[in-house]
């Protein structure tokens, strides 16, 4: 028995007993209980962990709705024609072999997945516009069986989208506090799309590889300090020590400069604050989206202050051009891929990991 929210939100009520609770080893904001005729999934509110963000009742399409269902948003499964806001979840559905269930997307220009691009070109996927202001008329014409979107605090019911009488699946995986915790949500998505066994198997492989890599990093005698990213305008967003990225640095046995920032999200800091704490860091990791690869000359041209970092002077900056590689599409549900890159960068004496997948050293020109 566990608490779920009445109607998906609001006052909590007690779920029915007699189900099999799915054993989730890492996800903190998700509970899944399987009953003979339906599956109940409760999403904990990450902004107020004593409350429930949403409750879903997954009922197979081939069965009539059971009597006395618990309170929650009913979703008929498997989903076959969904609107998926995020390239992250499009990538996962492709991994699970159900990319054909993507009926529409938002922010198409940011999606590099061939399955999505090609199906859109054939008219099989609808471009529903900007995720922050989607095209309601196109969504109505698409008539999806569910809308998968990322929740945000104080969303006020998602405006017109929330009034379409279409189940909204709030993809709160990004609010988990560990990389494996976020990846484990694929088991919930697998149940939405009728591929529970495939999702469970995929996650088991990700978890096994991640733990094996983590153990290998612990045998290294090298200890390098590291920080990441760039400033945007006057602000530099720094992942906290309890964020998935902060935990990844720790699992790679790197000395993350901002590990003491006690937050599971990111913290906005000034350039001066970042420079004061990171100017002597050994390694700098940068993600960017450009037509051509970033160089040291280009980085200096962007902002002269970057040249003052030790990692710049000693040419120990690694860049990931997300216009060329599927970093954002892959790493949320394949943190083992990213951990392998981090270990190879932070422990260069370790071999046999197959080379870098996302990052490469910046060139001078």
- Check residue 90 and give its pLDDT: 95
Q: Residue 212: inside a domain, yes or no?
A: no
Q: Do 144 and 23 share a structural domain? A: yes
Provide the residue range defining the domain that includes 109: 3-206
Is the CB of residue 311 less than 8 Å from the CB of residue 281?
Answer: yes
Q: Is residue 286 part of a domain?
A: yes
Tens of pLDDT along 191-240?
Answer: 999 999 999 999 999 999 999 999 999 999 999 999 999 999 999 999 99
Phi, psi of 53 (to 5 degrees): -75, -45
Classify residue 354 as exposed, middle or buried by CB count within 10 Å of its CB (0-12, 13-18, 19+). Answer: exposed
pLDDT, residue 6, reads: 37
Distance, C-alpha 90 to centroid of its chain: 11
| Domain closes at, from 139, 171, 206 | 206
Q: What is the pLDDT of residue 14?
A: 37
Neighbours of 315 (CB within 10 A): 11
Considering 162, 185, 206, which residue would you say is the last residue of a domain? 206
Q: Are residues 110 and 228 in the same domain?
A: no
pLDDT digits (tens, 9 = 90+) for 282-322: 999 999 999 999 999 999 999 999 999 999 999 999 999 99
Q: What is residue 110's predicted lDDT score, i.e. its pLDDT?
A: 85
Which residue ranges of the chain lie beneath pLDDT 50?
1-16
The whole-number pLDDT of residue 47 equals: 87
Nearest alpha carbon to residue 16 among 44, 57, 48, 74: 57
Boundary of a domain, candidates 161, 177, 206: 206
Q: Residue 17 has what pLDDT?
A: 64
181 and 246 in one domain? Answer: no
- pTM here is 0.90
Whether 214 is covered by a domain: the verdict is no
CATH number for position 247: 3.40.50.1980
> What pLDDT is recorded for position 313?
97
Q: Could you tell me if 177 and 250 lie in one domain?
A: no
What total of structural domains would you count in the chain? Answer: 2
């Amino acid at each position: 028995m566990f608490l779920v929210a009445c109607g998906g939100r609001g006052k909590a009520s007690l779920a029915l007993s007699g189900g099999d609770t799915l054993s989730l080893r890492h996800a903190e904001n998700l509970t899944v209980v399987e009953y003979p005729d339906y599956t109940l999934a409760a999403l904990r509110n990450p902004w107020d962990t004593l409350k429930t963000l949403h409750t879903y009742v997954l009922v197979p399409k081939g069965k009539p709705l059971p009597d006395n269902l618990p309170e929650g948003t009913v979703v008929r499964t498997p989903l076959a024609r969904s609107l998926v806001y995020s390239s992250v979840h499009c990538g996962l559905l492709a991994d699970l072999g159900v990319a054909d269930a993507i009926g529409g997307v938002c922010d198409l220009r940011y999606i590099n997945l061939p399955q999505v691009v090609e199906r859109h070109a054939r008219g099989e996927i609808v471009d529903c516009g900007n995720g922050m202001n989607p095209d309601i008329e196109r969504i109505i014409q698409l008539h999806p069986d569910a809308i998968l979107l990322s929740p945000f605090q104080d969303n006020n019911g998602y405006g017109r989208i929330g009034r379409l009488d279409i189940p909204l699946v709030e993809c709160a995986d990004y609010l988990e506090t560990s990389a494996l915790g976020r990846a484990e949500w694929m088991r919930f998505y697998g149940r939405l799309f009728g591929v529970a066994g495939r999702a469970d198997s995929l996650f088991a492989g990700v978890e096994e590889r991640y733990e094996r890599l983590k153990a290998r990093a612990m045998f290294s005698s090298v200890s390098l300090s590291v920080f990441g990213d760039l400033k945007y305008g006057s602000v530099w967003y720094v992942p906290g020590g309890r964020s998935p990225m902060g935990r990844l640095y720790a699992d790679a046995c790197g000395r993350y400069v901002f590990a003491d920032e006690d937050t599971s999200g990111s913290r906005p800091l000034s350039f001066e604050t970042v420079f004061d704490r990171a100017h002597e860091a050994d390694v700098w990791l940068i993600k960017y989206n450009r037509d051509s690869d970033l160089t040291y000359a280009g980085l200096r041209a962007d902002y002269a202050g970057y040249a003052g970092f030790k990692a710049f002077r000693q040419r120990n900056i690694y860049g990931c051009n997300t216009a060329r590689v599927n970093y954002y599409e892959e790493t949320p549900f394949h943190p083992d891929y990213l951990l392998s890159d981090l270990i190879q960068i932070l422990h260069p004496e370790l071999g046999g990991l197959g080379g870098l997948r996302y990052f490469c050293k910046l060139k001078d020109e």
